[in-house]
Amino acid sequence: MDFANAFTIDNLTFILEGFYMTLKVAFSSIILSFVLGAIVGTIRYMKVPVLSPILAVIVELIRNLPLLLIIFFTRFALPEVGIQLGPVYASIIALTLFEGAMISEIVRSGLNSIEKGQIEAARSSGLSHLRTLWHIVLPQGLRRMVPPLVSQFISLLKDTSLAVVISLPELMNQSKIVIGQSITYAIPVLLFAALLYFMVNYALSLIAKKLETKMV
């Protein structure tokens, strides 16, 4: 273990640049996948004719594929049909599609968990389907979605490391390059990478707990 030489200014800067890329890709994907998942999950909950069954098939297809395969597809298969994507955009699109499918199920389950009696009472009082969804179902459903959503976001952050296979200059890719200088750097660099992942994921967990407390 060579901590001193592993953590030179140049090596630290290089690793932290990779960490910045990890955060950039992760949080871009979190926002996009949440929007996508919320839309798809809500449409499926409302059982929109034709569209809901089609989305159900797409969601099940994506959920049952390895994320690594989707990353490879966006980076290497899409150019065959004229869509050229660099490692960053290929990673964001792959993560958005995969995590969006997962989040759509969280959203749909959260909305379906609301007692039917409340919905019937709202409808009988004259509220439309959309107003019932907005005022009754969504506020309660969102409260129940917070823990699984945060867990999914944490998984997404960790899943960015899979993009190392398409040479995305994220944390693990940069760590691998530094370790390539000397095997004695492996333990120090990997411990540092683990610490960076832990800090962000732990912060997300704390935010989730505060949100749950405020929503109670």
- Tens-place pLDDT, residues 49-89: 999 999 999 999 999 999 999 999 999 999 988 899 999 99
In this predicted structure, what is the pLDDT of residue 74? 95
Q: What does residue 142 show for φ and ψ, rounded to 5 degrees?
A: -60, -40
- Give burial (CB, 10 Å; 0-12/13-18/19+) of 4: exposed
Question: Which has the minimum average pLDDT: 28-42, 108-122, 155-169?
Answer: 108-122
- What's the average model confidence in pLDDT over 98-109? 95
pTM comes to 0.88
Determine the average pLDDT of the residues in 180-196. Answer: 94
Query: Is 3-215 assigned to CATH 1.10.287.1080?
Result: no
Cα separation of 85 and 74, whole Å? 7
